[in-house]
């Protein structure tokens, strides 16, 4: 590592959700560029993958001493952040998700000293769900105001944060990204054969099956489409509403056309065999799966909730309808799936948009700019990317 590079601690929820995926992918990108990246989490981030000499992992162990009714995760994390920061001489902590990570990082900073900077990235449910709880909203506001820099993954989330928490602190927009070396249109015809007949269309939904995802709307849309066009639905993921959805599929007599794949690692491969991504959430600050689909050339049809319209350009890279309007969503799907020329134009536009606006090199550079800014150091020219990298 040369003196231009930074020592960065990253904390996230390592085992599930888009925020963990983004934090891990960002860590990998930063390590590739020569920064030293220390993941400080309760388990190894699930997308960490192969060994890299610049990536380190520090496990947060939680005491289960019998006096404590609840495990002391937050305090264990704060203490681990402080000790790693000191031991490794970290420049900054970049924490993903405000609660409890930003609060823990601020505590660590108090222990270590003001030279340790804290960058907090808001991902959505930390504001749109957790911050609705008044008993905790003051703490989230404090964490945001005291962080050295705060970023959010969409304009909608910035607006929502200002509206619900009345914070005045500047919040930088830094969109999520996809790694174009992993997410790109690939020939998945062999896999597709296992899921559908050649004349059938394939729709896919990937989520954690929580109520905000309105997964039953996905089934409704599929039911309406499959009445008119032979098609299949593939579900990836697990979560609280899964059992309800399995029942709904059975009741509608769709079991032979719907596959439940559970949690899967090779999402890019599954996406590449699909024609359409369905994302019908009622809350979605960004919708990382829609971006992953877009990068594979798969348009999204879904709701115009939260930050989804910033990602999916209606009529260009997908179609969006009001939350719960499954008739309209099904109409859009039928229109798209019965127009091969229009489909191909849209699919190409998807790849182009994912590679330019949500380019991994570009977004990593934006985070680096934030880091150097809070440290009061100019960003070394050698780290700036050539904008042509993100031209497709």
Q: How far is the CB of 172 from ligand GMT (least distance, A)?
A: 14
CB-wise, 13 or 195, nearer to ligand GMT? 13
- Cα separations (Å) of 235 from 192, 255, 263? 14, 12, 9
Per DSSP, what are the bridge partners of residue 314? 318
Provide the sign of the torsion angle of the four alpha carbons 338, 194, 267, 211, taken in this order. Answer: positive
CA-CA distance, 99 to 88, in Å (whole number)?
Answer: 24
Binding track, positions 117-136, relative to ligand GMT; x by CB under 6 A: ------xxx--x--------
CA-CA distance, 139 to 149, in Å (whole number)?
Answer: 17
CA-CA distance, 328 to 287, in Å (whole number)?
Answer: 20
CA-CA distance, 183 to 295, in Å (whole number)?
Answer: 6
> By CB under 6 A, is residue 18 in contact with ligand GMT?
yes
Q: How far is the CB of 196 from ligand GMT (least distance, A)?
A: 27
Q: How many residues bind ligand GMT (CB under 6 A)?
A: 19
CA-CA distance, 330 to 201, in Å (whole number)?
Answer: 13
Q: State which of residues 6, 9, 19, 104 lies at the interface with ligand GMT (CB under 6 A).
A: 19
Q: How far is the CB of 312 from ligand GMT (least distance, A)?
A: 12
Q: How far is the CB of 367 from ligand GMT (least distance, A)?
A: 13
CA-CA distance, 139 to 147, in Å (whole number)?
Answer: 12
Q: How far is the CB of 230 from ligand GMT (least distance, A)?
A: 31
Least Cα distance to 123 among 100, 151, 101 occurs for: 151
Q: State which of residues 54, 147, 176, 317 lies at the interface with ligand GMT (CB under 6 A).
A: 176
> By CB under 6 A, is residue 17 in contact with ligand GMT?
yes
Q: Which helix (H) or strand (E) holds 309?
A: helix 308-311
Q: State which of residues 14, 287, 299, 302 lies at the interface with ligand GMT (CB under 6 A).
A: 287
> By CB under 6 A, is residue 212 in contact with ligand GMT?
yes
Binding track, positions 224-243, relative to ligand GMT; x by CB under 6 A: --------------------
> By CB under 6 A, is residue 94 in contact with ligand GMT?
no
CB-wise, 28 or 123, nearer to ligand GMT? 123
CA-CA distance, 62 to 49, in Å (whole number)?
Answer: 25
Q: Of the listed pieces 197-205, 267-275, 286-294, 381-389, which binds ligand GMT according to CB under 6 A?
A: 286-294
Least Cα distance to 156 among 138, 141, 133, 176 occurs for: 176
Please give the residues from 32 up to 91 whose contact with ligand GMT meets the rule CB under 6 A. Answer: none
Q: How far is the CB of 209 from ligand GMT (least distance, A)?
A: 10
Q: How far is the CB of 315 from ligand GMT (least distance, A)?
A: 22
Other beta carbons less than 10 A from residue 196's beta carbon: 21
> By CB under 6 A, is residue 208 in contact with ligand GMT?
yes
CB-wise, 230 or 240, nearer to ligand GMT? 240
Sequence-distant (≥ 6) Cβ neighbours of residue 314 within 8 angstroms: 304, 320
Can you tell me which residue has the tokens 């790693």? Answer: 84
> By CB under 6 A, is residue 153 in contact with ligand GMT?
yes
Q: Which two tokens stand for residue 304?
A: 């115009």
Q: Which residues bind ligand GMT (CB under 6 A)?
A: 17-19, 22, 97, 123-125, 128, 153, 176, 208, 212, 283-288
């Amino acid at each position: 590592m040369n003196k231009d590079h930074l020592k960065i601690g990253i904390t996230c929820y390592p085992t599930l959700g888009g925020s963990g995926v983004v934090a891990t992918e960002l860590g990998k990108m930063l390590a590739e560029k020569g920064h030293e990246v220390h993941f400080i989490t309760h388990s190894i981030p699930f997308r960490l993958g192969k060994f890299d000499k610049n990536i380190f992992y520090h496990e947060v162990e939680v005491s289960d001493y019998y006096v404590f009714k609840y495990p002391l995760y937050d305090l264990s994390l704060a203490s681990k952040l402080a000790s790693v920061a000191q031991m490794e001489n970290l420049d900054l902590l970049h924490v993903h998700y405000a609660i409890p990570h930003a609060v823990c990082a601020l505590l660590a900073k108090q222990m270590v000293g003001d030279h340790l900077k804290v960058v907090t990235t808001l991902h959505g449910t930390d504001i749109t769900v957790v911050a609705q709880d008044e008993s905790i909203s003051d703490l989230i506001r404090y964490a945001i105001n005291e962080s050295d820099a705060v970023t959010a993954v969409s304009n909608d989330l910035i607006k929502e944060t200002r509206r619900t928490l009345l914070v005045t602190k500047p919040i930088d927009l830094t969109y999520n990204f996809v790694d174009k070396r992993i997410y790109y249109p690939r020939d998945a015809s062999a896999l597709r054969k296992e899921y559908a007949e050649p004349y059938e269309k394939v729709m896919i939904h990937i989520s954690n099956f929580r109520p905000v995802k309105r997964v039953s709307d996905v089934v409704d849309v599929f039911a309406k489409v499959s009445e008119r066009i032979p098609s299949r639905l593939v579900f990836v993921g697990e979560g609280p509403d899964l059992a309800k959805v399995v029942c709904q599929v059975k009741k509608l007599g769709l079991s032979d056309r719907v596959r439940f794949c559970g949690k899967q690692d090779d999402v890019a491969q599954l996406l590449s065999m699909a024609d359409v991504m369905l994302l019908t959430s009622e809350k979605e600050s960004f919708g990382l799966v829609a971006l992953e689909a877009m990068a594979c050339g798969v348009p999204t049809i879904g709701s115009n909730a939260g930050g989804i319209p910033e990602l999916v350009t209606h009529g260009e890279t997908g179609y969006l309808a009001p939350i719960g309007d499954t008739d309209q969503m099904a109409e859009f799907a039928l229109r798209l799936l019965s127009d091969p020329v229009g489909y191909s134009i849209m699919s190409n536009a998807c790849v182009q948009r994912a590679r330019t606006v949500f380019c991994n090199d570009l977004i990593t550079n934006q985070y680096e700019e934030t880091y150097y800014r809070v440290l009061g150091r100019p960003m070394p020219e050698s780290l700036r990317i050539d904008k042509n990298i993100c031209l497709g």
